[in-house]
Structure 1
Amino acid sequence: MDMLEAESNNMDSQGLVGEDVKATEVPGSGDPGNEREMEQTRPSTPQPSEKPNHIPADRHGPLHRFVALSLYQGLKKQGPIPSVIVFVAGRARQGMPGAQIGPVPVIRMYGVTMEGNSVCCHIHGFSPYFFVLAPDAFTDQHCKPFKDSLNRAVLNDMRSNKEEVQEAVLAVEITKKQSLFGYQGDTLSTFLKITVALPRLIAAAKRLLEKEVIFPVLGNHNYQAFESNVDFDIRFMVDTGVVGCSWVELPAGKYQLRERSKKVSRCQLEADISWEEFVSHAPEGEWSKVAPFRILSFDIECAGRKGIFPEPDHDPVIQIANMVVRQGDHEPFIRNVFTLDTCAPIVGSQVLSFTSEREMLEKWAEFVRELDPDILTGYNINNFDLPYLINRAKHLKVKNFTYLGRIKDIQSVIKEQMFQSKQMGRRENKSVNFEGRVPFDLFLVLVRDYKLRSYTLNSVSYHFLQEQKEDVHHNIITDLQNGNPQTRRRLAVYCLKDAYLPLRLLDKLMCIINYMEMARVTGVSLSSLLTRGQQIKVVSQLLRKNVQERRIETHKRNEHNTAPKVKRRTELTPYSAAAGPRGIGCLLNTIDRHCPISEGEWLPDADVPRGSPGGAVRGCHCDRAQERTITPTQ
């Protein structure tokens, strides 16, 4: 195969990376699993410089590209990253803001510095909250007794308290905002901002306020909830100004680097910081650069039975091909293939042969942990390769195989995921969690973004690259494996090209760049773009605009949708056809279509002018238009 046989390298069938691969470890960065700087070098390839585990106090803190974000009850991060946010429940950390007793939400942010060092940042002190409409007579003196009453109600409502929550409601404060629904001019309404200990307690507090009398001092008030359904990761990113795939800076003296013995991740740098201290840079100018993310593309081959689709409980994994590239480079710097039984050498690639399948799977998992990729890609890896490897390793009882993420004690688990949207319909896929890494399945990306006659890798490669896979039919894979080292070499070349073509397609179609820019524009993480629909993008941008204009979004939108009950409408007739872009909507009225109206243009029933038929009134902001009122006959 021409692309794989470009040059000859020294082969080493015993080690994971061979003699041509050099590992550079950050001093004090931890065990060999943390050795990220593993490079397959050539004489002309410069070696990465070693990065110290100590940042001098007289310079700015570490900068990293934000790739992933996660939340847990307890930590923090720095620099640029691909885009994943994770929440975890942990314990309060001394010197950090937020609750000081019981479990606290901690956000993990994962990224990579411009020098290529991986970063895990634990962000402390940010607590979930929502809003309710305050009673007219509510004052600052009522905040403390209201908080205590709601706190008791939420604690009593818990069926079990495994997390040992001692204080469910942390704060209640009065704020002035304007509801996004309905035209209200410049009038601001009074709302209560209720801060709780954990994200899951928002639903309980909202339900209790709506269905029970929590604070009888001011009578039976309808505590309508606002923004109670906003995801915690989106809330954090909106309030801190963080957007997907942006650069994050930890100012000098504001963060705490973790010692080797206290690290919970495999990243080279791990730090704690307050959510009020880190700096998020807008992706403009110098901050629009793309970090050197490490991308691993892999493919597996199975020895299936004749006429039966491979099953992990019966059919072995016989080969795993890997291609590793840095974002921005066109060619991989690591090319290897793990094979079961001996295999003849392949020019330009490293062949690692094993006598048992269990050993091969163990070594491949070690390879992934040592490589420490930011993005995992391949073709249909979410629905086949990854689940098959995990289930096969489980069947063979391979030790520690499922610890493929960046957090040492979190296993990768297969979950069934149902996705439904008007654009793509209903789709059922599998998903596997890799803490701190982004699974970027090229097959799912192409199905979402392109309309093609066929989505097989062979067809897609020919359509975009005018290249095709190696000529190996799936019916003869088992025969090639049972043959000799030369037949297994033919299969290995086939497997290597199946791992190489997704990288070529990613580079040709600029998929990573396009999704990174979309994450920056919409303000969501990279993983959200891959696993969720269009609404998350709209909600993120809407919330950011609301923060600027002191607006607030109601949760029960459907209850206020009075469009089917309109008793009065406005028909607009343009003065001329040259109404301009803003008048295009009005021109549609000439064919009996009304102008699109936003929620903010509806008047509440109480504000409808006297003499009108009643109901909501529609208006229009078109510049060149006349208004005349028509009462429907129905």
Structure 2
Amino acid sequence: MSNLNFFKRRKSSTGTGLGAPPAKRTRVEERPSESLNGNRDAPVEFPEFERGAYEPDESQDILFQLLECEDASKDSFPSANPIPSASSPLIRLFGCTPTGHSICVFLTDFYPYLYFPITPNFTNDDIPAFLDVLAPHISKITITSTEIIQDVVPLMYYRDAVQRDNEPARYSSFLKLQVQEPVMVGRLAKILEGADELEGVKEWFGKGKLYDVTVYEWNLTAEMRVMVDTGMVGGGWVAISGNKYRHVQQSHQRSSRCQIQVICRAADLAPATAHEPMADDTLAAKSDNRHGEIAPLRVLCMLATNLIDEYPDSNTKNHSPKPQATRSKKRNASNTPSTPSQPIAPHSITGFISCLTTTSHTLTASSNDTTLIFAHSTTPERIRSPSNSQTTRVLMYPTERAMLSAFQSFLNTYDPDVVTGYDVSEQIMGLMDRAERLKVPKWGYLGRLPHLKAKGSRKQIYGAGWVRAQRRMAGTSNREFKILELTGRIVLDMRQIIERDERLRTYSFAEAIQLQLQTSKEVLSTPTLTALWLESPETRRRVVDYLNRDVRLCMQLVRKSAALISYLEMARVTGLNISDTFHRGQMIRFWSQLFRYCKKIKTVIPTRTDRNEGQMTEGPLNIAPVAQYNTKDPIAVLDFRSLYPSIIIAHNLSYDTLLMADDRSQLEETDYEKGLGPIEAWFVKSHLKKGVVPAILEHFLDERRKVKKRMEETTDPTMKIVLHGRQQALKVSANAIYGFTGARESKLQCLPIAETTILYGATMLGDLIKEIEKTFTKANGFAVDCKVVYGDTDSVFVQMSDTSVQDAIEYGKQIAKKMSELWPDPIQLEFEKVYFPYILINRKRYAGLQWTRPDKPDKIDAKGIESQRRDSIPLLGTLMTNVLEILFPRGKTNNRELLTDCINEEERQSHITTAAEYVRWCIGRILKGEYDIGEFIATKGLWLGTETEDYQAKQIHVELVERIRKRQPWRTFQDGERIPFVYTTGGTKGHEKSEDPLYALQNGLGLDYLYYVRHQIENQLTRIFELLLPPSQVTALFTGDHTRVGAGKPEGAAKGIATFFQTPTTASCLGCRKKVPVDRAVCDDCVPLIPSIYHRLVTISNDIQRRNVALHAICRQAQGSRAWPVLCENSDSDIFWKRAKAVRDQERAAADVLRLEADPNWLAG
């Protein structure tokens, strides 16, 4: 089996076996999983994990943090409704109280509705007649209430000019139609949209009662509708006054697992989170100022781990792996298993479920963290306790079925508010599949409603059509992922968060841990875990420690990323459910914010049912940089603060300020300004009417300033995290509004707003460049001559001749302040940083030593070059980074008194020469094979699909996938999955050379180092060095004598029967590398040098051995024990590949020593 690592079974002994340190032995809890019905596989209860007791008192107020609001009318089970006689659709609220009790609130007396425009001539007396003529067309729709709403206006173009002209006062009256069920809203809307053609209804247009068929606010989901109308926000606090609710106490009426279950009217809810940006002023009076507080949410972090099933033909039987002998496999030089000639599909079973329970979801680990490891075995034995045995328990079950049942029982007893883990959605759905295959009764009911099974669905961020239109997909991820719904619980999948926020090569758990926590994680393969679990109590203890470390690392990842806080604050800002901010995009966020603000100002929003055909035709200004390596003239980077939101506010761009062409004559020319773009448009200025969109943006920007001020003032580290998450949510929300107005997928696209915004930005950038170069010159009295060498969207790079970094910082601030006066508030140009020295290569490709203060540099900042790209090999990133470190010195030199001074020509040439020599040295090492294979691994994503037919041309990674499938027919791939690969010596084209790194290592396939130099390194480094050296010298970097060397042997043992027929005839002298007979180690000239050659070989061997020991020490630290052998197979860690290379080098060095000792002239030397 390729990539499977079965270890030779060692005999069990009464001693410590693997030399594990002594520890107190504790008995593993053997849980037979007996039920009241006598079924061994039925769930057991875990009373010690239940929440604290709650005594209901209907006279007391209830306060809770809202975790989820959902439409309960979708349930198909009558038992889901504790009040089946209720005529209105039920809305369920789930939350957590300040004391940590779970709560489920059923809302009654709420009906979904829509608005339909009517004329002022339509009166209350007309309502019965209108419903009568409408009735034949809505036979399956129940309208529960109809009323006329006045003093509201639609969100559409500016209309005051029309009313001044004494035209009929339209758009001020609406018919509000409430329906029985949420699904009826859409049906009714579609009928009303064709009202002008309906028999009996179309006559009302001629009577002057109706005038338009636009339906307003029908495409709001029931849960969003009730949250908008009541003012609730996801993650916010909600209050219910005493005697305004009723407890559901009878057990047969309880339809949730929550401790508190109440029924109340929607009108009796009072949001209790003050200072929400979209909050109504009247709601703030009811607030007890709980802004920023978080309830003691129960968090369950879990990981499921598989084992190899030794009974592949009896998967449905109630069994667990038995300690049978495992066939040993011959190992190669890299200590990894060889591949059998015939592929054998491994059958996996769920071996373990590791769980960590906590109520501390920020900062460091809490003392209340408890780990439970669910395991199963037919022969439970005593296991040495983990190092933190006080907080870690191992629960052993006789079968996998019993273990799965117990886990479900535990989860529902613990009743977590948040379920998290790395790829937790995929893992729980895998458990559901496994439970179904094993026929575990009633498994999968993991939410807070015992009658609703967990649901999962697959999703991709981008469609295949959009992906095909992209030139490349290096900057994002499009992996297919699963959405898991556990009713009443937040599912926080850390893999999906990492994929959105970070740019990794494979997105494995180990790589995420390395990036976020800056620590290496031990990785044991499924066969390795199986062998260790079956071997002995000592090796079982190692498995338990491994599982315990993994789940604790995962919880550290959750805390370090502050993901729960970030999405909770995003929900508070946008008003959405927390899960919606996690799984849905930017459009829905502004859609919610728009409804909230419009409700506050009595404005209704039209609903568009036609697909937007228009799309953006304009783009931001991007000026090509002046390509250069500059060590003399610093550049100050200036950028506009919140450019697009500021433009929208400054120019009052909104749906309701858009002026119709015919209405301009009713206004003064000073009352409006012309929009930009291919669509002719005008917008009234704010002194006539403040637009809705600018008003919302002002809320966000003002609130963000307040939050950032509070961040500076607070000393509470937890509150700092909360506030940071909030200000980030406000920033993201504000920046997304521009996209909402221009996207084709938008529910309210308005191209005049979007194109005017983007063209104003481009115009401002162009004007800024001209003004800087005209104003800030020595001729005009400025200290230095300024020239803009690069401009992109919202920033400019201002080059200042013959000045220091300290002065450039000061001049940059002066320029930003002066230029800000050119535009109306809140548009403001800000100083960001200084680059010196720096390299400008092309658009969005540059690097420089960054300064924000004159005393010391911040870092080397690189954008768009290969050191930042994951589809290039790690070695190229290392080369680029080190070249930049040479070209951008951070320390003082003999030629400069201050680091901030200009670099003279002598020092500049010295840096260039050093960088060139470094590149020559590295290329020589590459061609000699002195780097480990891990430095040559690149990854590419399966963006268009997993089949070759999905691609027009042969792709490197897609062709590799096909070869892997032939070797491992059971292997599956997902859309968007990133495939690691290396280039081997086989084949001539890139797609023929690509191979799986582990397969290449295990099978001794040599890498094509020359191909790497020519196709992965040369072109990329040339882009930099062509700015530093003449063309002939650049070419010499990759074609000189240093390139005329041969690579070492492949990293692994040779394979195939051909190796038995190879008879070497010559060898190389260990002293001078001349050819010598195969039985000789040195040539005649080097015989006198045998002692020195031997000393050199022994020294090399000792150095390699020390390096190998040091690498193993790092691995032992990661595995938590210095006594256990290193079995880690973390291919995302450079240590894994360095260790493999060290083993190979050690064997070669030992072979050279033995060869010298066997030379006939050994004694003579």
Give TM-score, length-normalised by structure 1.
0.76
1:434 offset after TM fit, Å?
1.1
Instruction: Note closer, same or farther for the CA distance 1:146–1:346 as it changes in structure 2 (3 Å cut).
Output: farther
Preserved contact between residue 351 and residue 375 of structure 2 (Cα < 8 Å): yes
1:339 offset after TM fit, Å?
1.1
Verify: 1:263 aligned to 2:315, yes or no. Answer: no
Deviations 1:237-260 (A, max 9, x none): 111000111111221111000113
Q: Which among 44, 50, 54 is matched to residue 51 of structure 1?
A: 54
In structure 1, the residue matched to 2:105 is 121
Verify: 1:218 aligned to 2:204, yes or no. Answer: yes
Instruction: Note closer, same or farther for the CA distance 1:338–1:93 as it changes in structure 2 (3 Å cut).
Output: closer
- Structural mapping, 1:532-551, within 5 Å: 532-551=584-603
Q: Which moved more, 1:135-144 or 1:459-468?
A: 135-144
In structure 2, the residue matched to 1:334 is 370
- Structural mapping, 1:207-356, within 5 Å: 207-211=190-194, 212-213=197-198, 215-219=201-205, 221-261=211-251, 262-283=253-274, 285-304=289-308, 314-328=347-361, 330-331=365-366, 332-341=368-377, 342=380, 344-347=383-386, 348=389, 349-356=392-399
In structure 1, the residue matched to 2:663 is 607
Equivalent residue of 1:202, what SS?
A: helix
Equivalent residue of 2:348, what SS?
A: coil
- Structural mapping, 1:56-95, within 5 Å: 57=59, 60-73=60-73
Preserved contact between residue 154 and residue 604 of structure 2 (Cα < 8 Å): yes
Instruction: Note closer, same or farther for the CA distance 1:448–1:582 as it changes in structure 2 (3 Å cut).
Output: closer
Instruction: Note closer, same or farther for the CA distance 1:586–1:72 as it changes in structure 2 (3 Å cut).
Output: closer
- Structural mapping, 1:129-148, within 5 Å: 129-135=113-119, 137-148=121-132
Instruction: Note closer, same or farther for the CA distance 1:9–1:435 as it changes in structure 2 (3 Å cut).
Output: farther
1:564 offset after TM fit, Å?
8.3
Identity rate, percent: 24
1:283 offset after TM fit, Å?
4.6
Deviations 1:489-547 (A, max 9, x none): 32232222222222101211211112111111111111101110111111111111101
Preserved contact between residue 320 and residue 338 of structure 1 (Cα < 8 Å): yes
1:296 offset after TM fit, Å?
0.4
Preserved contact between residue 232 and residue 271 of structure 2 (Cα < 8 Å): yes
In structure 1, the residue matched to 2:29 is 13
Instruction: Note closer, same or farther for the CA distance 1:424–1:519 as it changes in structure 2 (3 Å cut).
Output: farther
Equivalent residue of 1:402, what SS?
A: coil
1:420 offset after TM fit, Å?
3.9
Amino acid at match of 1:316: I
Preserved contact between residue 89 and residue 105 of structure 1 (Cα < 8 Å): no
1:148 offset after TM fit, Å?
4.2
Preserved contact between residue 58 and residue 245 of structure 2 (Cα < 8 Å): no
Rounded Cα–Cα distance in structure 2 between residues aligned with 1:586 and 1:320: 47
Preserved contact between residue 417 and residue 489 of structure 2 (Cα < 8 Å): yes
Preserved contact between residue 65 and residue 247 of structure 1 (Cα < 8 Å): yes
Q: Which moved more, 1:514-523 or 1:211-220?
A: 211-220
In structure 2, the residue matched to 1:598 is 654
Preserved contact between residue 182 and residue 600 of structure 1 (Cα < 8 Å): yes
Preserved contact between residue 46 and residue 410 of structure 2 (Cα < 8 Å): no
Equivalent residue of 1:410, what SS?
A: coil
Instruction: Note closer, same or farther for the CA distance 1:557–1:153 as it changes in structure 2 (3 Å cut).
Output: closer
In structure 1, the residue matched to 2:445 is 403
- Structural mapping, 1:561-600, within 5 Å: 597-600=653-656
In structure 2, the residue matched to 1:495 is 547
Deviations 1:65-91 (A, max 9, x none): 11122211399xxxxxxxxxxx99959
* Structure 1 or 2: more helix by fraction: 2
* Structure 1 or 2: more strand by fraction: 1
Number of residue equivalences:
548
Amino acid at match of 2:98: M
Rounded Cα–Cα distance in structure 1 between residues aligned with 2:616 and 2:302: 52
In structure 2, the residue matched to 1:79 is none
1:370 offset after TM fit, Å?
0.8
Rounded Cα–Cα distance in structure 1 between residues aligned with 2:480 and 2:121: 50
Rounded Cα–Cα distance in structure 2 between residues aligned with 1:586 and 1:128: 33
In structure 2, the residue matched to 1:161 is none
Deviations 1:149-194 (A, max 9, x none): 4354222xx4xxxxxx7x3453243333222221123965222222
Equivalent residue of 2:49, what SS?
A: strand
Equivalent residue of 1:65, what SS?
A: strand
Verify: 1:38 aligned to 2:21, yes or no. Answer: no
Instruction: Note closer, same or farther for the CA distance 1:34–1:227 as it changes in structure 2 (3 Å cut).
Output: farther
Deviations 1:261-313 (A, max 9, x none): 211111111110000112211255335311010010111111247999998xx
Equivalent residue of 1:224, what SS?
A: coil
Preserved contact between residue 63 and residue 240 of structure 2 (Cα < 8 Å): yes
Instruction: Note closer, same or farther for the CA distance 1:136–1:279 as it changes in structure 2 (3 Å cut).
Output: closer
Q: Which moved more, 1:496-505 or 1:263-272?
A: 496-505
Equivalent residue of 1:219, what SS?
A: helix
Verify: 1:154 aligned to 2:210, yes or no. Answer: no
Equivalent residue of 2:546, what SS?
A: helix
Preserved contact between residue 477 and residue 500 of structure 2 (Cα < 8 Å): no
Amino acid at match of 2:292: S
Amino acid at match of 1:145: A
Preserved contact between residue 295 and residue 376 of structure 1 (Cα < 8 Å): yes
Rounded Cα–Cα distance in structure 1 between residues aligned with 2:49 and 2:423: 27
Which structure 2 segments of 5+ residues have no match? 1-20, 34-42, 164-170, 276-288, 310-338, 467-474, 619-638, 688-821, 825-1165
Instruction: Note closer, same or farther for the CA distance 1:265–1:90 as it changes in structure 2 (3 Å cut).
Output: closer
Rounded Cα–Cα distance in structure 2 between residues aligned with 1:319 and 1:507: 23
1:226 offset after TM fit, Å?
1.5
Deviations 1:595-621 (A, max 9, x none): 794333322354254999998532374
Preserved contact between residue 237 and residue 272 of structure 2 (Cα < 8 Å): yes
Preserved contact between residue 124 and residue 147 of structure 2 (Cα < 8 Å): no
Preserved contact between residue 354 and residue 360 of structure 1 (Cα < 8 Å): yes
Equivalent residue of 2:492, what SS?
A: strand
Verify: 1:371 aligned to 2:410, yes or no. Answer: no
1:110 offset after TM fit, Å?
0.9
Amino acid at match of 1:55: D
Equivalent residue of 1:235, what SS?
A: helix
1:462 offset after TM fit, Å?
1.7
Equivalent residue of 1:435, what SS?
A: coil
Equivalent residue of 1:119, what SS?
A: strand
Preserved contact between residue 147 and residue 169 of structure 1 (Cα < 8 Å): no
Deviations 1:544-581 (A, max 9, x none): 11011112222128789989899xxxxxxxxxxxxx98
Rounded Cα–Cα distance in structure 2 between residues aligned with 1:425 and 1:558: 30
Equivalent residue of 2:138, what SS?
A: helix
Instruction: Note closer, same or farther for the CA distance 1:426–1:236 as it changes in structure 2 (3 Å cut).
Output: farther
In structure 2, the residue matched to 1:43 is none
Verify: 1:181 aligned to 2:119, yes or no. Answer: no
- Structural mapping, 1:423-572, within 5 Å: 428-556=480-608
1:487 offset after TM fit, Å?
2.5
Work out which of the two has the higher radius of gyration on C-alpha atoms and give 1 or 2: 2
Rounded Cα–Cα distance in structure 1 between residues aligned with 2:642 and 2:486: 50
Rounded Cα–Cα distance in structure 2 between residues aligned with 1:410 and 1:439: 16
Rounded Cα–Cα distance in structure 2 between residues aligned with 1:426 and 1:459: 18
Rounded Cα–Cα distance in structure 1 between residues aligned with 2:174 and 2:62: 39
Preserved contact between residue 243 and residue 524 of structure 1 (Cα < 8 Å): yes
1:373 offset after TM fit, Å?
0.6
Preserved contact between residue 52 and residue 101 of structure 2 (Cα < 8 Å): no
In structure 1, the residue matched to 2:683 is 619
Rounded Cα–Cα distance in structure 2 between residues aligned with 1:582 and 1:470: 44
Amino acid at match of 1:173: I
In structure 1, the residue matched to 2:1076 is none
